[in-house]
Amino acid sequence: MKKILLNTIQTHSKIDTDKPLFLWRFPGNEESLSKFAHTLPTFNLSHQEAANLNHNLNIWIDQDIIPWITHHLNTKHQTTYSPEFWALLLKPWLGYIVSTTYTYFLLLQSVVTDSQEPLQFSPITPKTPWEFKDTFDFIYRGYQDPLLHGWLVSELLCNTFQDKLTKLPKHIITPEKPSYKKGIESVSDTRFRRCLRVKGLSTFSEIALSYLLNFKKSKKKSDPQSLMTNQPIIGIETSLFPIMQNLLEQTIPLSFTTYFTHYNAKALKKKYTAQKIRIVGPVMVYHEQLKFYLAHAKENGEILISTQHGGNYGWHLAHREPMLFEYRFDYFISWGWTKAGDLKNILPLPSPYLKKFLNKHRFKSKEIILVGTDINPMNSYCIPYPFLDTKFLSYRNEKLSFLRTLPTQLQPHITYRAYPLTNRRLADFDYLKKSLHWLQPSIKDLHQSLLNCELCCLDHLGTTLLICLAANIPVICFWQPEHCDLNDEATVLLQEMESENLYFPSGKAAAEFITSISDHIPDWWQTKQPLRKKLMAHHANTQKWLLPWVKTIVSL
């Protein structure tokens, strides 16, 4: 009889008696990971299936979960706020819990059904309630804690598959409590600005645009974009709703319960005017008080505009957080692309952030920089995360294939920029260094290093690619197609990149091509300028931004 492991994997765990299901049991324990890796279950979804699942989970949140929690919190606080109000506050947290838990359910369903022998587990029970100060605290402390994930899985096993599993004695855990050294988040009066935290805008620019927005109303009364969809729920096990209610009640951040009055009272002091515009950068996680301001602005008929702040927008077939939250604002300002599912509220405008990098690259060194991305198993169960389940391991091994293929004469020039390591991520650089003793880390400022390098190599899709395009940095990408879901427009662009040798579906092929051009990279890159400009037009618009922004705002 095998035991499902929900706690930390020990080096003495036995393959024949223990059954780990999740990669997040192994950070800091590569020895056990190498032993158990082939036993981990895989979660096979095509890109389209993952996109459909993401879409329908968002609809489930809109149609069932938001109405329930709206009634629950309005009753608790004796308020009458609309579902749109609560959706703006709660969706970032809701998305993590619902998407992750549902994906665990699908994986567990497969494991239990396919098991040829009885399975047993020790239910995880918190000794004290979960407490998260706010959304930021939930995501960056609670959600990054394997104990929380173990508990989510335990609750699913106890309430969904109890008739097919054998319970062992409970495992009691003590959740870490939040720090209140900085008190409850407060927002200074500078947050009255109607343009705030837009990626790349200076404080002066934000204030100037804020003055424009303070005097400007829309030319005609517009129907607000709904933060929620009214489409039918398809293919979701809605019978899980009672379990989801329980999980949400136990993990809701205190900013929406105990400290709701604090945040709400501050927001009520601000003035909101119907049909006036607010433009904001990323607010999903970092600024709880700002979300309260936006919720009241939405409640009072203001027009909310969210803005792009990273490189994945507009490429993916599904993009969980924006499709649930950011794209649901009245408008969304992109860095050039125009399509996101069936939404018609995208405003393609130049990027003030990327404009700062325009043509800044100079060939000052022979450094070839390989830039990696996050290997964080705690995030791998947010549909449609590109490295779901054991794809993390094949993603990491693709780097080995790339680096091993490079010739000896290039090795002194190769540096690797790993994602910042924490005790909850896989030890990316250390893992590579064991096999490649010559590999050196890129320890200087990344952007400055890129602006002086010979070549940037990317094993993932992200902001660094757009910076390379804007700054005119030679760049070559490689990743396995199953690691990156792309929409129709992005698929065409990537095919063009592949035909021009800017993208390769394997690390080995990329390394072989780099070897072939290693003595004339500047000349080779010069021939790629037409494609570079085409990619910039779609995803890295670096034209002068001020006049297009003002014209667009005035025309709304």
Q: State the average pLDDT over residues 2-14.
A: 75
Comparing 202 with 24, the larger pLDDT belongs to 202
Tokens of residue 79, six digits: 């308020």
65 lies in a domain? Answer: no
Last residue of a domain, one of 296, 324, 356: 356
Q: Do residues 306 and 198 lie in contact, with contact meaning Cβ atoms separated by under 8 Å?
A: no
The structure tokens 């700054």 sit at 471
Q: What's residue 179's pLDDT?
A: 83
Residue 219 has pLDDT above 70, yes or no: no
Least confident of 338-352, 485-499, 507-521: 338-352
Q: Residue 19 — φ and ψ, nearest 5°? A: -135, 90
Tokens of residue 511, six digits: 């390394």
77 lies in a domain? Answer: no
The residue segments making up the domain with residue 133 are 2-59+85-173
Comparing 367 with 431, the larger pLDDT belongs to 367
Q: What's the CA gap between 60 and 67, in Å, rounded?
A: 10
Last residue of a domain, one of 296, 331, 356: 356
* Residues paired with residue 475 on neighbouring β-strands, in sequence order: 456
Last residue of a domain, one of 356, 388, 403: 356
Residue 189 has pLDDT above 60, yes or no: no
Residue 186 has pLDDT above 70, yes or no: no
* Helices of type H across 472-518: 488-499, 507-517
114 lies in a domain? Answer: yes
**pTM to 2 decimal places:** 0.93
Tokens of residue 520, six digits: 């004339």
Q: What is the 3-state secondary structure (H, E, C) of 135-147?
A: HHHHHHHHCCCHH
Same domain, 342 and 305: yes
- The strand pair at 331-334 and 346-348 is best described as parallel
Same domain, 245 and 386: no
Tens digits of residue pLDDT in 508-542: 999 999 999 999 999 999 999 999 999 999 999 99
**How many alpha carbons lie under 13 Å from residue 77 in its C-beta half-sphere?**
21
Q: State the average pLDDT over residues 232-254.
A: 95
544 lies in a domain? Answer: no
Same domain, 122 and 209: no
Residue 286 has pLDDT above 90, yes or no: no
551 lies in a domain? Answer: no
Q: What's residue 11's pLDDT?
A: 65
Tokens of residue 283, six digits: 């607010």
Q: Do residues 133 and 254 lie in contact, with contact meaning Cβ atoms separated by under 8 Å?
A: yes
Q: What's residue 244's pLDDT?
A: 97
* Helices of type H across 203-240: 203-215
Give percent above pLDDT 90 in the chain. Answer: 64
Same domain, 107 and 20: yes
Q: What's the CA gap between 157 and 337, in Å, rounded?
A: 43
Tokens of residue 73, six digits: 């919190």
Q: What's the CA gap between 205 and 226, in Å, rounded?
A: 29
Same domain, 532 and 454: yes
Same domain, 24 and 165: yes
Least confident of 233-242, 375-384, 437-446: 375-384
Q: What's residue 132's pLDDT?
A: 95
Same domain, 6 and 111: yes
Same domain, 226 and 345: yes
Helix pair 83-114, 146-160: axis angle to 10 deg: 70
Q: What's the CA gap between 506 and 447, in Å, rounded?
A: 25
Q: What's residue 6's pLDDT?
A: 83
Identity of the highest mean pLDDT range in 215-224, 287-296, 416-425, 504-513 = 504-513
Residue 504 has pLDDT above 70, yes or no: yes
pLDDT range class, residue 261, cuts 50, 70, 90: very high
Q: What's the CA gap between 401 and 399, in Å, rounded?
A: 5
Q: State the average pLDDT over residues 171-180.
A: 89
427 lies in a domain? Answer: yes
Tokens of residue 321, six digits: 């957080």
Q: What's residue 490's pLDDT?
A: 94
Comparing 193 with 86, the larger pLDDT belongs to 86
CATH code (residue 385):
3.40.50.2000
pLDDT range class, residue 218, cuts 50, 70, 90: low
Same domain, 217 and 120: no
Same domain, 312 and 260: yes
Q: What's the CA gap between 446 and 492, in Å, rounded?
A: 29
552 lies in a domain? Answer: no
pLDDT range class, residue 115, cuts 50, 70, 90: confident
Same domain, 387 and 336: no
Residue 167 has pLDDT above 70, yes or no: yes
Helix pair 83-114, 66-77: axis angle to 10 deg: 130
Find, among 329, 304, 326, the residue nearest to 313 by Cα: 326
Find, among 322, 314, 350, the residue nearest to 198 by Cα: 350
Same domain, 330 and 408: no
409 lies in a domain? Answer: yes
Round the average pLDDT of the chain to a whole number and report it: 90
- The strand pair at 277-280 and 2-5 is best described as unpaired
Q: State the average pLDDT over residues 23-41.
A: 81
Count structural domains, the chain.
3
Tens digits of residue pLDDT in 272-284: 999 999 999 987 7
Q: Do residues 490 and 315 lie in contact, with contact meaning Cβ atoms separated by under 8 Å?
A: yes
Give percent above pLDDT 70 in the chain. Answer: 96
pLDDT range class, residue 287, cuts 50, 70, 90: confident
